[in-house]
Amino acid sequence: MADRLEILRDLERKVLWLSSWTIHNANRLRANPDGMKVGGHQSSSASLAAIMTALYFDALRPEDRVAVKPHASPCFHAIQYLLGHQTRAKLENFRGFGGAQSYPSRTKDIDDVDFSTGSVGLGVAQTVFASIAQDFLKAKGCAADLPEGKMVALVGDAELDEGNIYEALVEGWKHGLRNTWWVVDYNRQSLDGVIHEGLAARLESVFATFGWDVVVLKYGALLEAAFAKPGGAKLRAWIDNCPNELYSALTYQGGAAWRQRLLADHAGDNALATLIAAYDDDALARLMTNLGGHDLPSLLDAFAKARTHDRPVCFIAYTIKGAGLPLAGHKDNHAGLMTDAQMDAFRTACGIRPGHEWEKFEGLATGAEEVQRFLDAVPFAAKGIRRFTAPVLDVPAIVPPSEKTISTQAAFGLMLNELGRGDSAFADRVATMSPDVTVSTNLGPWVNRRKLFAREAAEDLFRTQRIPSTYKWDRSPEGQHVELGIAESNLFLALSAFGLTASLFGERIVPIGTVYDPFILRGADQLNYACYQDARFILVATPSGITLAPEGGAHQSIGTPLVGMSQPGLLSYEPAFADELALILRFAFEYAQREGKDGGSIYLRLSSRALEQPTRRIGARQAAEIVEGGYWLRAPGPSARVVVAYTGAVAPEAIEAVGLLAEDRRDVGLLAVTSADRLHADWTRASRAREDGQADSLAPIERLLAAVPGDCALVTVADAHPAALGWLGAVAGHRVRALGVDAFGQTGTIADLYRHYGIDAAAIMRAAQAIAPGRPIRHLAGV
């Protein structure tokens, strides 16, 4: 019977073979009509073959969750294939349409991806917030049947250049981060070349500073054994001082080059000469590349030790990019591919017969039955695919505040306060979070009621000292607000992690994050990342636009509605009035809980501009239209020559302009757009459905604009880039003049700025006059 280590060594080679073959197959055997190299990162995958073998076939448990370095995707798929969770067809179609994904994807791959990766750095930081989310749940007694898991990231050394990783490190420290493992694939190579000298030492001190355990896996067992022999100390010193670039080059050149260089650098040193004379060229190459990250016993031992405590651990595992392949060490190997001849030689070395490349047990030293028994008993796979669901929570009534004049931002704060005051099961499952703008985005009253989350309870010192303050910020395990530092990146990654709790931990949390609208761009990649994984959350971005007039151009947002429209998985709304917001918020709470493509995350672009509220009772039809994205605030008549469409905080200007226009133009209409995003998406969907033969398919915006005569013009207006609404003319072929903001903001009053950028009532009337000429608009003469 083979021992455990022998089987693991067999599997390591198998993983290396399968990942290399998957890429080779995709490139060489599949016709590539675009004439483009499919790429596939054979060397990046090889770098991690031993580490991933040790993790997946030994160290990991079903409750652990892993962010796999994007370029180790072939390795990951190979492992899942061996475990029975990936198909040969998908591997054969790696990087092809519907095949195994180039970078692990939660939504597109079938093989139990925990966290999607691709944009380097994000998967790594995601594990910090997944761990905090796990603590959040555990502190409330949720997921009681699920053991605490390790949140693991396989990290490239060049990936550690990404600043978002350090932002997460700081935030993790504040939250007493636990159960997080980062395994750094320290191959000293990036995409373009070789990493700066001495990075490992810097990393060690950074991680130690933030309270992490650092485990350095530098040398494998072969090297350690050599160091113990006469001349060994010299060898170790030489390796320790060897520049990364030279080490890489010698690795690529192989045994003879190692020998020549070592002898040249130790002329006259008999002990060292004797030591290396005991190795033939192949053995010397194996020895010199026997680093910790390729040494299964060291890896198994390190992971087993780390399992005994809950402190965060950074493993710095020295590796060789392309280890075991002819590409090993070459600085140009990132997208390098093995040639057919190299692949043939590698196949022979792996003991694999031509035509048997995909067979699981082909070429193994251990018998098939024994390996299968081993695979069947792999702890990580004991529970099969680990995708959970959680029941949908009933959403309580959301009642708009009764203030006569109020901003959507203030209304949001009041509605959340009411939610916090109530005792719904839903409210207990809300987690709020904000990057140091909790109070300024009106979350304060909610936090007073629902407290800050911390694993250790702590009272608000101001309160215990009886110093008057509006905010009672006690920290407790029951707390529902996750206080974040100012780094917006962390907000989006936290939303991503908390927005996946149903799937990862079988417990639903509805995360609500508040952020200043302009700073969405600061975390736009993270937002995209969260949506790509289908995390479910509600993003409340406030204030927005140039309504934040005195703050000036650095605090004003222009393009964010286009971010909302163009971001898949995120539905954006920009209501003007509190009653609209109440309906939309309720819908958002429900929509975020829907399964699959029927649901998604929601972005509410709110404003701090207080608006006089309409006195109205919203009927069922109008309520539905508000959620569908638009309704007639004033329906156009059959003689309409001009219609105004607006979204968000410019409602008063649009209403005023239409009121004045109506004195000189007949039947003027006023279209309130609550979601340009939704209107556009449904229009696209309906068009596609018609093209597919569903002749009666009609989108809400098509129904609305059917009331507008064909020769009528549209004037659209938004406190945002004009493209947000300009497309409305394409729906039914109306002429459009799109007003909005397309230059950096200024300081001033709202009136100053709306005049300056041409989104005030006068500008709307001027546009109407120009696009729908007729008798002069008298009110324009006066302005």
Ligand X SMILES: Cc1ncc(C[n+]2csc(CCOP(=O)(O)OP(=O)(O)O)c2C)c(N)n1
> Dihedral sign, CA of 433, 435, 441, 444?
positive
Token output for 49 = 């073959």
CA 526, CA 126: separation in Å to the nearest integer? 10
Binding mask of the shown chain, residues 38 to 67, with x at each position contacting ligand X by CB under 6 A: ------x--x--------------------
Residue nearer to ligand X on the CB measure, 71 or 138: 71
Q: Does residue 330 interact with ligand X by CB under 6 A?
A: no
Residue nearer to ligand X on the CB measure, 68 or 371: 68
Stretch that binds Mg ion, among 156-164, 360-368, 727-735, 741-749 (CB under 5 A): 156-164
Stretch that binds ligand X, among 83-91, 184-192, 647-655, 736-744 (CB under 6 A): 184-192
Residue 462 Cβ vs ligand X, minimum distance, rounded to whole Å: 41
How far does CA 653 lie from the centroid of its chain?
Answer: 38
Cβ neighbourhood burial of 82 (10 Å; 0-12, 13-18, 19+): buried
CA 127, CA 109: separation in Å to the nearest integer? 19
Q: Does residue 157 interact with Mg ion by CB under 5 A?
A: yes
Q: Does residue 533 interact with ligand X by CB under 6 A?
A: no
Which one of residues 25, 102, 187, 533 is an interface residue with ligand X (CB under 6 A)?
Answer: 187
Residue 78 Cβ vs Mg ion, minimum distance, rounded to whole Å: 20
Q: Does residue 321 interact with ligand X by CB under 6 A?
A: yes
Which residue in this structure is represented by tokens 């030279």? 246
* Contact in structure between 352 and 361 (CB atoms under 8 Å): no
281-288 and 244-253 are packed helices; what angle lies between their axes, rounded to 10 degrees?
150
44 binds, among ligand X, Mg ion, none (CB under 5 to 8 A by kind): ligand X
Backbone angle region of 231, left / alpha / beta, with phi > 0 → left and psi within -120 to 50 → alpha: left
* Type of residue found at 483: E
Say whether 670 sits in a helix, a strand or coil.
strand
Residue nearer to ligand X on the CB measure, 103 or 587: 103
Q: Does residue 248 interact with Mg ion by CB under 5 A?
A: no
Residue 286 Cβ vs Mg ion, minimum distance, rounded to whole Å: 21
Binding mask of the shown chain, residues 180 to 219, with x at each position contacting Mg ion by CB under 5 A: -------x-x------------------------------
Residue nearer to ligand X on the CB measure, 69 or 475: 69
Which one of residues 32, 87, 93, 119 is an interface residue with ligand X (CB under 6 A)?
Answer: 119
* Contact in structure between 442 and 448 (CB atoms under 8 Å): no
Residue 44 Cβ vs ligand X, minimum distance, rounded to whole Å: 3
H runs (alpha helix) in 466-602: 488-498, 501-505, 524-532, 560-566, 578-591
Site for ligand X in 135-164 (CB under 6 A): 156-159
* Contact in structure between 715 and 644 (CB atoms under 8 Å): yes
Q: Does residue 501 interact with ligand X by CB under 6 A?
A: no
Cβ neighbourhood burial of 189 (10 Å; 0-12, 13-18, 19+): buried
132 binds, among Mg ion, ligand X, none (CB under 5 to 8 A by kind): none
Backbone angle region of 696, left / alpha / beta, with phi > 0 → left and psi within -120 to 50 → alpha: alpha
* Of 401, 489, 491, nearest in space to 438 by CA: 491
Residue 165 Cβ vs ligand X, minimum distance, rounded to whole Å: 11
248 binds, among ligand X, Mg ion, none (CB under 5 to 8 A by kind): none
Residue 120 Cβ vs ligand X, minimum distance, rounded to whole Å: 4
Residue nearer to Mg ion on the CB measure, 323 or 717: 323
Which one of residues 334, 536, 634, 737 is an interface residue with ligand X (CB under 6 A)?
Answer: 334
Binding mask of the shown chain, residues 266 to 305, with x at each position contacting ligand X by CB under 6 A: ----------------------------------------
CA 476, CA 452: separation in Å to the nearest integer? 6
Q: Does residue 579 interact with Mg ion by CB under 5 A?
A: no
Question: If you compute the radius of gyration of the chain from its CA atoms, what whole number of angstroms results?
Answer: 31
Which one of residues 189, 366, 434, 572 is an interface residue with ligand X (CB under 6 A)?
Answer: 189
343 binds, among Mg ion, ligand X, none (CB under 5 to 8 A by kind): none
4-24 and 340-349 are packed helices; what angle lies between their axes, rounded to 10 degrees?
160
Q: Does residue 75 interact with ligand X by CB under 6 A?
A: no
CA 491, CA 470: separation in Å to the nearest integer? 24
Residue nearer to ligand X on the CB measure, 318 or 426: 318
CB atoms within 10 A of CB 676: 30
Residue 47 Cβ vs ligand X, minimum distance, rounded to whole Å: 5
Q: Does residue 251 interact with Mg ion by CB under 5 A?
A: no
Token output for 763 = 């500008």
* Contact in structure between 432 and 406 (CB atoms under 8 Å): no
Which residue in this structure is represented by tokens 């004797």? 274
Say whether 397 sits in a helix, a strand or coil.
coil
Q: Does residue 156 interact with Mg ion by CB under 5 A?
A: yes
Binding mask of the shown chain, residues 582 to 621, with x at each position contacting ligand X by CB under 6 A: ----------------------------------------
> Dihedral sign, CA of 628, 633, 639, 641?
negative
CA 684, CA 679: separation in Å to the nearest integer? 9
Residue 52 Cβ vs Mg ion, minimum distance, rounded to whole Å: 15
Residue nearer to Mg ion on the CB measure, 217 or 350: 217
- Interface residues with Mg ion (CB under 5 A) are 156-158, 187, 189
- Interface residues with ligand X (CB under 6 A) are 44, 47, 70-71, 119-120, 156-159, 185, 187, 189-191, 321, 334
